[in-house]
Amino acid sequence: MTKFLVSFPASAMDVPAEDMPAVAEASHAIIREAKAAGVYVFGGGINIEVAPVMVAADGSCTSDTYRQTREFDGGFCVLELPSRPDAVRWAAKLAAACRCAQELREFYYDPES
């Protein structure tokens, strides 16, 4: 089984405020379905109200980020699935529920993790 990251940036959700409760329920229904199917690993949304910090090897923290991730926000989930076509099917379900396209990435297999 392979783990896949399904995600979207917050800016991708161009949904009227009055539709957000329906979007939330639809996406939660897909997550419940993934849990029932035994493919859900974990997921959530990035809390943009808490600033990220850069942690160095010595444990020191600075209020910095990698340039590529300065605008890292939105929602994500990790699913463990037998194939990429299965991952595409789940990503499509989430895209329909969230009303925005989902980015799909495959995790590299590391037997130590």
Between helix 20-37 and helix 84-98 the angle, nearest 10°, is 150
The verdict on residue 112 lying in a domain is no
Q: How many CB atoms lie within 10 A of CB 15?
A: 14
Domain range for 20 is 2-106
High-pLDDT (> 70) share of the chain, %:
100
**Predicted TM-score of the model (pTM):** 0.88
pLDDT of residue 110: 87
Identity (one letter) of the amino acid at 83? S
Tens of pLDDT along 33-73?
Answer: 999 999 999 999 999 899 899 999 999 999 989 988 888 88
Percentage of the chain modeled with pLDDT above 90? 81
Residue 42 is assigned to a structural domain of this protein = yes
In whole angstroms, what is the distance from residue 49 CA to residue 91 CA?
A: 27
pLDDT at 67: 87
For residue 76, what is the domain's CATH number? 3.30.70.1060
Would you say residue 113 lies in a domain? no
Residue 19 lies in a domain: yes
In a domain, 111, yes or no: no
Alpha helices (runs of H) in the chain, residue ranges in sequence order: 20-37, 84-98
| Total number of domains constituting the chain | 1
